[in-house]
Amino acid sequence: MKGTKDALEILGKRMARNPRLQALVEAERVNFQAASAIRQARIHAGLTQAQLAKGVGTAQSVIARLEAADYKGHTLRMLEHIAEILGQRVEIRFRPCC
Res 1: pLDDT: 44
CATH architecture of 7-85: Orthogonal Bundle (1.10)
Give how far the C-alpha of residue 33 lies from the chain's centroid of Cα atoms, to the nearest Å.
3
Highest mean pLDDT among 10-14, 15-19, 48-52: 48-52
Q: Evaluate if pTM is beyond 0.75.
A: yes
97 pLDDT exceeds 80?
no
> Do the Cβ atoms of 50 and 62 come closer than 8 Å?
no
> Do the Cβ atoms of 38 and 82 come closer than 8 Å?
yes
98 pLDDT exceeds 80?
no
Rg (CA), the chain: 17
Res 78: pLDDT: 94
